[in-house]
Amino acid sequence: MRFAIIGATGIVGREMIQCLEKKHLKVSALRLAASPRSVGKMIKTNFGKIKVEKISEELFKNSDIALFAAGSEISLEWAKKAAELGSVVIDNSSCFRYDPQVPLIIPEINPKEISKHRGIIANPNCTTAIAAIPLWEIEKKFGLKKVIISTYQAVSGAGKEAMEELENQTHSYCQNKKFTIDKFQHQILFNLIPHIDKFQENGYTKEEMKVVWETRKIFSRPNIDISCTAVRVPVMRAHSESIVVETKKKITPEKIRAIFKKTSGIKVVDDPKNNSYPMPLFASSDFSVHVGRIRQSLIFGDFGLEFFVSGDQILKGAALNAVQIAELLMKKKK
């Protein structure tokens, strides 16, 4: 199939190219589009050297699948047009996630929903995607009553310039220079910031509420009790999350550990005696979500578990999930 990647020179866009390569999808043509400042750049790929072009109607008329990774403004301007012009849009922004007419897809969880698309398919928020993979296995086998999540989110979730800010602050510290603070509300080096996205009227941030809204939609459980606290930490790449669940049926670490080991998209890293547990250092660039520290909840007893996850939010939280959705589309076409 013919692919277009919108926002191809950004962090997520470049990872989309690599995911297409690593998944060995049959791509008959790949076109890359980005902002005017990137137009004309040559990008080396396994599909050949490709010149970055501007976003245009002609681009979508000649593409079967368009992967959008350029931000909300571009998605709002072009996604519906692209769909009308014949491309199936897989959008990484939050613009369409809560639209009841747009399926919100994690291929390991709700692949059948893809058939309901009307030209646009939404990719979930990165924090949601990483938590949802293990949570879905618990929901299927034991039922979820309550979910409490605390996140430790890498600066890469805020984009390339945020990553550069952490690097620059590190260099400034080593050279005994004054820090520059631009992309975050406060210094990120040697700090953590419990503030991601805008605060809502209920006191939660939008990032926290995304986890609530999106998990309910993906699981088709509109009333599931979920609470999240999202925190930015001075880690370059890969988000981590502490997750506490109360279940409808009795659950044990042994049972869920065995289930996780058989689950596509999960790598069990759970040997505390040998200091083996999920960490962003090792989850970075891995397609799987790392799950460990699995233990019986002291609060919910036999009906609860606590565990820790780390996952590359640029991959499973964005680029990889989008390419997996494209893979579903391609299989449906056969």
- In angstroms, the Cα distances linking 330 to 9, 20, 325 are 24, 12, 9
Phi-psi region of 145 (alpha: psi -120 to 50; beta: other; left: phi over 0): alpha
Q: What is the pLDDT of residues 94-151, one digit of tens each?
A: 999 999 999 999 999 999 999 999 999 999 999 999 999 999 999 999 999 999 999 9
Q: What is the pLDDT of residues 21-42, one digit of tens each?
A: 999 999 999 999 999 999 999 9
Give me the catalytic one of 19, 95, 117, 239. Answer: 239
Whether the pLDDT of residue 333 is over 80: the answer is no
Backbone angles phi, psi at 272, to 5 degrees: -55, -30
Q: Which pLDDT score is estimated for 332?
A: 84
Mean pLDDT of 39-57: 96
Whether the pLDDT of residue 334 is over 90: the answer is no
88 by DSSP, 3-state: which?
strand
Buried b (16+ CB within 10 A) or exposed e, 247-257: beeebebeebb
User: Quick one: pLDDT band at residue 195, thresholds 50, 70, 90?
Assistant: very high
- Give the integer Cα–Cα distance in Å for 309 and 297: 16
Give percent of the chain with pLDDT exceeding 70. Answer: 100
Burial label for 119, CB within 10 Å (0-12, 13-18, 19+), is middle
Q: Is 195 a catalytic residue?
A: no
Of the listed ranges 200-209, 239-248, 325-334, the one predicted with least confidence: 325-334
Q: Which pLDDT score is estimated for 120?
A: 98
Q: Are 319 and 69 in contact (CB under 8 A)?
A: yes
Same fold, 2-124+318-333 and 128-313: no
- In angstroms, the Cα distances linking 101 to 2, 111, 223 are 25, 16, 19
What is the value of pTM for the model shown? Answer: 0.96
Taking the CB of residue 299, how many other CB atoms lie within 10 A of it? 12
Q: Does the domain spanning 2-124+318-333 belong to CATH 3.40.50.720?
A: yes
CATH code that applies to domain 128-313 = 3.30.360.10
Average pLDDT, the chain: 97
Q: Which pLDDT score is estimated for 310?
A: 98
Domain residue ranges of the chain, discontinuous segments joined by +:
2-124+318-333, 128-313
- Give the integer Cα–Cα distance in Å for 27 and 19: 12
Whether the pLDDT of residue 84 is over 70: the answer is yes
Q: Which pLDDT score is estimated for 89?
A: 98
Give me the catalytic one of 117, 126, 228, 290. Answer: 126
Mean pLDDT of 60-78: 97
Q: What is the pLDDT of residues 237-274, one digit of tens each?
A: 999 999 999 999 999 999 999 999 999 999 999 999 99
Q: Is 239 a catalytic residue?
A: yes
Q: Which pLDDT score is estimated for 303?
A: 98
- Give the integer Cα–Cα distance in Å for 256 and 97: 29
